[in-house]
């Protein structure tokens, strides 16, 4: 087979066979497909899409391109389950959810990714913790999951290596927002991780890859259908991403928000808490650790309230190389930005809308995200105290605080955030954060 002929067939809207897809996956792994050919394949899929059969073949091909974990030999006293998000602005849910669910008796081997485009990556957030090993070897990963109950890491060279290369190409070739590529990327890592169940958080709105409810529904249904065909039990929630999730955006800043949330310090953001609890309930019910969603939520709330979830988070950080006292002294370990400036409201009224994508782009401009795959990230920069939809403000009130490396970059971010947040009257009606559910 010739790579260019397979790319041509997909470019022209033809369905690829399982053998052709397997050939492409092998070429991605062994390097026989050039960067240009991988990018061209991704772009062809972006424009032409894939059938269910093609999506399953690509997902399984990527999953089997490296090691597949088997947890049976560890005699774990609970189910192995995970959650994944399609990505959003201020989405630090995974950092909160893994220790909560682990504290309820499940084992959560979470393989996460770096930021894509305007959305932050769970891996980039954890990399802001000094010493935290985001890519340990598989033996360490297994040990931490067994001992702590959860471990959040990045893809190793052994797990789904074909997806690792394809993931990097997508980030810099404007092919992120492709449902077949999103589905295969997410599920290949989860299948390779040896899961017994998966809950998906499909973000929908201006800050998500799915900017319409129809696209979010399409992605959720495709994920569930492909997972079912691949033998992985799965449920998906569609959640609102038309504004920042939580109050803070930026890698170290979101870690600090996570610690405060788990320790019960300060006011919890209602929308963020609702997403965390809804996903926890789904995970515990899918894992058969709760007979219903209501019972699952009650267990999750209890693990958060009595400190067990916070304790698990601290143990995970320590077990993966971070400070042993991170939970108690996180402020001393997270490097602050040298410049902190208020972003003032330009006139009074209510916050009636937010372009969350532009807020995410403002953080990328500060240095908190990537424009190129090899860009370094400044973990200290970002936004804190972002106002929510419906908030009433006066002229000059802070819409957020900008954490920047320089006054010049802070000024640029202020202009972007002011343009992204629309202030008018009257206050808009409340919008539910949980928009839908897709199950097998």
pLDDT band per the 50, 70, 90 thresholds, residue 117: low
* pLDDT per residue as tens digits for the range 253-307: 999 999 999 999 876 789 999 999 999 999 999 999 999 999 999 999 999 999 9
Whole-number percent of the chain with pLDDT over 70 = 97
Domains and CATH numbers, the chain: 3-49 (1.20.970.10), 72-331 (3.40.1030.10), 339-424 (3.90.1170.30)
Is the pLDDT reported for residue 174 higher than 90?
no
The CA distance from 152 to 320, in Å, is: 9
Task: Return the pLDDT at 209.
Answer: 81
Task: Return the pLDDT at 345.
Answer: 98
Structure tokens at 229: 């065909």
Is the pLDDT reported for residue 109 higher than 90?
yes
Is the pLDDT reported for residue 116 higher than 60?
no
Select the more confidently predicted residue: 313 or 119: 313
Those residues whose C-beta lies under 8 Å from the C-beta of residue 254, and which sit 6 or more positions away, are 90, 92, 95, 120, 125, 246, 248, 382
Structure tokens at 284: 């515990």
The CA distance from 430 to 143, in Å, is: 44
Those residues whose C-beta lies under 8 Å from the C-beta of residue 312, and which sit 6 or more positions away, are 98, 99, 100, 102, 103, 148, 149, 150
Section 137-163 average pLDDT: 92
Task: Return the pLDDT at 269.
Answer: 83
Give the predicted TM-score (pTM) of the model: 0.92
Residue 416 burial (C-beta neighbours within 10 Å; 0-12, 13-18, 19+): buried
Task: Return the pLDDT at 371.
Answer: 66
* pLDDT per residue as tens digits for the range 292-340: 999 999 999 999 999 999 999 999 999 999 999 999 999 999 999 999 9
Task: Return the pLDDT at 295.
Answer: 98
Whole-number percent of the chain with pLDDT over 90 = 84
Q: Which of 367, 382, 323 is nearest to 129 (CA)?
A: 323
The CA distance from 202 to 85, in Å, is: 6
Locus of tokens 């019960």: 264
Lowest mean pLDDT among 229-233, 288-292, 373-377: 373-377
The CA distance from 422 to 321, in Å, is: 43
User: Which own/partner contact pairs does 259-265 have at CB distance under 8 Å and 24+ positions apart?
Assistant: 259/310, 259/313, 259/326, 259/327, 259/330, 261/96, 262/96, 262/99, 262/304, 262/309, 262/310, 262/313, 262/327, 263/307, 263/310, 263/327, 264/304, 264/305
Task: Return the pLDDT at 121.
Answer: 82
Compute CA distances 2 → 32, 44, 347, whole Å: 10, 16, 60
The CA distance from 62 to 182, in Å, is: 12
Q: Is the previous residue joined to 146 through a cis bond, with omega within 30 degrees of 0?
A: no
User: Could you give the residue numbers annotated as active site?
Assistant: 82-85, 122, 170, 185, 189-190
Task: Return the pLDDT at 176.
Answer: 81
What element of type H or E holds 424? strand 421-424
Is the pLDDT reported for residue 138 higher than 60?
yes
């Amino acid at each position: 087979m010739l790579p260019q002929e397979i790319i041509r067939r997909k470019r022209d809207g033809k369905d690829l066979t399982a053998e052709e897809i397997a050939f492409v996956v092998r070429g991605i792994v062994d390097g026989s497909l050039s960067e240009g050919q991988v990018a061209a394949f991704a772009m062809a899929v972006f424009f032409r899409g894939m059938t269910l059969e093609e999506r399953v073949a690509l997902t399984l091909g990527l999953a089997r391109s490296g090691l597949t974990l088997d947890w049976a030999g560890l005699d774990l006293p609970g189910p192995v389950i995970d959650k994944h998000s399609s990505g959003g602005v201020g989405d630090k849910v995974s950092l909160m959810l893994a220790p909560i669910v682990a504290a309820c008796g499940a084992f959560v081997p979470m393989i996460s990714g770096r930021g894509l485009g305007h959305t932050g990556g769970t891996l980039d957030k954890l990399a802001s913790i000094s010493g935290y090993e985001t890519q340990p070897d598989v033996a360490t990963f297994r040990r931490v999951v067994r001992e702590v109950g959860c471990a959040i890491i990045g893809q190793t060279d052994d797990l789904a290596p074909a997806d690792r290369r394809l993931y990097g190409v997508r980030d810099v070739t404007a092919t992120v927002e492709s449902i077949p590529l999103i589905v295969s990327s997410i599920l290949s890592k989860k299948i390779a991780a040896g899961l017994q169940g998966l809950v998906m958080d499909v973000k929908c709105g201006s800050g998500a890859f799915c900017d319409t409810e129809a696209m979010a529904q399409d992605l959720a249904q495709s994920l569930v259908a492909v997972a079912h065909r691949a033998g992985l039990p799965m449920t998906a929630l569609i959640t609102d991403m038309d504004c920042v999730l939580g109050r803070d955006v930026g890698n170290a800043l979101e870690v600090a928000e996570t610690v405060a949330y788990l320790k019960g310090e300060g006011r919890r953001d209602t929308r963020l808490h609702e997403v965390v609890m809804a996903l926890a309930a789904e995970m515990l019910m899918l894992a058969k650790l709760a007979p219903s969603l209501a019972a699952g939520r009650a267990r999750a709330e209890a693990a958060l309230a009595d400190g067990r979830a916070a304790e698990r988070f601290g143990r995970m950080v320590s077990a993966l190389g971070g400070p042993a006292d991170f939970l108690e002294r996180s402020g001393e370990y997270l490097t602050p930005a040298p410049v902190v400036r208020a972003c003032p409201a330009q006139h009074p009224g209510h916050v009636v809308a937010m372009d969350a994508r532009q807020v995410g782009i403002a953080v990328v401009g500060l240095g908190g995200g990537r424009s190129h795959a090899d860009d370094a990230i400044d973990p200290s920069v970002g936004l804190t105290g972002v106002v929510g939809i419906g908030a009433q403000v006066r002229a000059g009130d802070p819409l957020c605080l900008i954490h920047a490396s320089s006054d010049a970059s802070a000024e640029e971010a202020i202009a972007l955030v002011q343009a992204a947040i629309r202030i008018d009257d009257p206050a808009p009606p409340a919008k539910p954060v949980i928009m839908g559910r897709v199950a097998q």
